[in-house]
Chains A and B, each alone.
Chain A
Amino acid sequence: DAKTTQPNSMESNEEEPVHLPCNHSTISGTDYIHWYRQLPSQGPEYVIHGLTSNVNNRMASLAIAEDRKSSTLILHRATLRDAAVYYCILRPGNTGKLIFGQGTTLQVKP
């Protein structure tokens, strides 16, 4: 299974954009890139996913490198409620198997 690499932690100021990077150099052509986040004392929560093209939804944007070996989750205006562990995940296209990375702990300062 392909793996992902993320920074252990990042800090952001409230109402500023946040760019969370993820490397997945061994990604295969059929792997989807997912991002989930986990708030304290909760189960993970879906954020966004993509395959090859950049994606936007109400929570975030996902920028995928042209060679698909890296991606960046973009939170456009961080709030205190966005403080969580953000996981970059690969999912083989024909399965429901989520392969979690180690996660980035995002701290948002007021």
Chain B
Amino acid sequence: DTEVTQTPKHLVMGMTNKKSLKCEQHMGHRAMYWYKQKAKKPPELMFVYSYEKLSINESVPSRFSPECPNSSLLNLHLHALQPEDSALYLCASSPRTVSYEQYFGPGTRLTVT
């Protein structure tokens, strides 16, 4: 199984809502990542987890809260988002952080109204 799955595929939320994005992999990878991709722009790294510990936070606003409850699962908790946070949120995993290949999921398309 070389797949990274993300749920939901699409999410529409109001600025006062709390929601969560979920990412799962069963490849035994110990590094997991969240990226944000605006339309017609490249992905931008948000967070890196290594062995379930947060190792990189790219100065992401606190309204985005990552969580890695176990080595297969990565969550992104969303609270009080702004319309400009609307984007495609991509999850990726790799055997370790210094591995040459990251496996990306298909993303969650988030719209904030």
Rounded to whole angstroms, the CA-CA distance of A42 and B44 in the bound complex is 16
**Which residue of chain A is the closest to B99 with respect to CB atoms?**
A96
Give the size of the chain B interface in residues (CB under 8 angstroms). 26
Chain B residues near A45 (CB-CB < 8 A): 104
Chain B residues near A97 (CB-CB < 8 A): 45, 48, 56
Give the size of the chain A interface in residues (CB under 8 angstroms). 21
Q: A43-B106, A87-B42, A100-B42 are in contact. Are A93 and B98 (CB under 8 A)?
A: yes
Rounded to whole angstroms, the CA-CA distance of A45 and B92 in the bound complex is 10
Interface SS of A by simple majority: loop
Q: Which of B42, B98, B104, B107 has a CB less than 8 Å from the CB of A96?
A: B98
Q: A34-B100, A96-B31, A96-B98 are in contact. Are A43 and B45 (CB under 8 A)?
A: no
Chain B residues near A95 (CB-CB < 8 A): 48, 56, 97-98
Rounded to whole angstroms, the CA-CA distance of A101 and B90 in the bound complex is 17
**Cβ of B33 under 8 Å from chain A:** yes
Q: A87-B42, A100-B44, A103-B42 are in contact. Are A46 and B101 (CB under 8 A)?
A: yes
Rounded to whole angstroms, the CA-CA distance of A87 and B105 in the bound complex is 17
Which of B31, B50, B98, B105 has the largest count of A CB atoms less than 10 A from its CB?
B98
Residue pair B98, A43 in contact (C-beta under 8 Å): no
Rounded to whole angstroms, the CA-CA distance of A103 and B38 in the bound complex is 13
Give A residues with C-beta under 8 Å from B: 32, 34, 41-46, 49, 87, 93-103
New A-B pairs, 11, CB < 8 Å, besides A87-B42, A96-B98: A42-B104, A43-B90, A44-B43, A44-B90, A44-B104, A46-B102, A95-B48, A97-B48, A98-B43, A98-B102, A103-B42
